[in-house]
Amino acid sequence: MERTVLRPATALYREKLFETERIKSVVPLDCHLGLNLLPFKITVAAMAEIAYWVQKSNSYDDAEEALRRNTKIDVKNDTMRFVANTVGKIVLDNDLARAEESYRLLNSGGLTFPKKKLDRELYVECDGAMFRSREKGDEEDGGDKGDRGWKEIKSGVVYGSDTFIGRTDDKGEPGQGLGNREYAAYAGSADVFRKLLFDLALRNGYGKYKTTILLTNGASWIKNTKDLLFPDAVLILDFFHLREKVRDFSNEYFDHNEAESKPWRDNTCKMLRNGEINAVLNILRGLKKFETDARAVNLRDYITENIDGMDYKHYEDNGWHVGGGDLESANKTVLRERLKQAGTRWNAETAGYVTALVTKAKSRLWDRDVVRALRRHYGVARPNDDI
């Protein structure tokens, strides 16, 4: 069959065709192959391929080049953007619908959990990152988010202690790495993100593990998340975030003199990890006051507000992970690589679509949650796509 293009004979017919079918012409071969039913007149496989390279690349220009180099498919920048947003919306809508159902089951008492629990831990990490936006910034959840041009995207990662794998660091010291883990991210309200996070935890075994541990950066919305969704969880202030606060404070206090700052922060972190929290607070109270700008780190208040989640000696005696940077940060891994490129600005909506794709790739769920979801959405599902 030739790829013949049929166009309306008159302006009136052209207007009527566009009004009723949202098209300007008819291509019989496209109709025969079913391409007329798809956005952009490309196959589902091509849409998934475009979306993959968009989420993997630092920019749409880079994605266009990567797609051409790796697949020989030549698609222009604007089309790649539209396709990625379409695919991302389908993926995010599916996640939101599943999260609403999990939340409904929770509130209706429809969830059941085994009485015999796995003698392991399920870890739920929460974080957030700011990204440049074309819209007015967030003022939600009590944060300093009111500046125009900045918005927050919330992220989470869930993994079980049975996924830990042994590894050595650059100095040859033994440590822990992660095997399977699953990410979620959302550029919007904390209430919606909490539902996504709960569904994420549920899919990864929440209720089946003996202990659930919620690792936090100290944000109030994460503490509220524990109270609302994970009341049985142990809340731990991620030691990585605490160490960053100590570093920032010491840099300010010692005027970025590394010779003075480093020994102080190393000793302070050692004391905090050993459970000498009150001793550190006494040291902070005794420090000479100093003038800084409005961004100064109030380490004493930060420790005081999060003291209930800082019993690191007890946690580590139980064999629990307390953070410290040796496991991947969902914030850095999922968000910064794609959203925080120099000069980029996003709408919250499109940022959400792209990060929905990034989380699936990082979670190694691309085939299940992107490719299969696309086939189901466009009516070309295969027999095992619902598995």
The three-class DSSP label of residue 175 is strand
Residue 5 structure tokens: 């293009």
Give me the pLDDT at residue 226, please. Answer: 93
Q: Using CA atoms, how far apart are residues 299 and 190, in angstroms rounded to an integer?
A: 25
* 59-60-66 Cα angle (round to 5): 90
Residue 347 structure tokens: 């709408």
Give me the pLDDT at residue 193, please. Answer: 96
Give me the pLDDT at residue 379, please. Answer: 85
Q: Are the C-beta atoms of 339 and 57 separated by less than 8 Å?
A: no
Whole-prediction pTM: 0.83
Task: Kindly give the interhelix angle for 348-362 and 44-56, rounded to the nearest 10 degrees.
Answer: 100
Q: Are the C-beta atoms of 185 and 106 separated by less than 8 Å?
A: no
Side chain identity, residue 95: D
Give the burial class of 17: count Cβ atoms within 10 A of its Cβ; 0-12 exposed, 13-18 middle, 19 or more buried.
middle
Long-range contacts of residues 250-253, Cβ cutoff 8 Å, at least 24 apart: 252/290, 252/292, 252/296, 252/297, 253/287, 253/290
Residue by residue, pLDDT tens for the chain (387 residues) are: 566 888 888 999 888 888 887 678 777 777 776 666 666 778 889 999 999 999 998 888 899 999 999 998 888 888 899 999 999 999 999 999 999 999 999 999 999 999 999 999 999 998 887 887 766 655 544 444 445 578 888 889 999 988 776 555 555 554 555 568 899 999 989 999 999 999 999 999 999 999 999 999 898 999 999 999 999 999 999 998 899 999 999 998 888 999 999 999 999 999 999 999 999 999 998 887 665 554 567 899 999 999 999 999 999 999 998 985 544 555 566 666 677 666 567 788 888 999 999 999 999 999 999 999 999 998 888 887 776
> CA gyration radius for the chain?
25
Residue 235 structure tokens: 């809340």
Q: Are the C-beta atoms of 89 and 353 separated by less than 8 Å?
A: yes
Q: Using CA atoms, how far apart are residues 5 and 321, in angstroms rounded to an integer?
A: 63
Give me the pLDDT at residue 385, please. Answer: 74
Give me the pLDDT at residue 142, please. Answer: 42
Give me the pLDDT at residue 31, please. Answer: 72
Nearest to 215 by CA among 156, 272, 297, 298: 156
Residue 272 structure tokens: 């905090």
**Alpha helical stretches, state H, 145-254:** 190-203, 220-229, 239-253
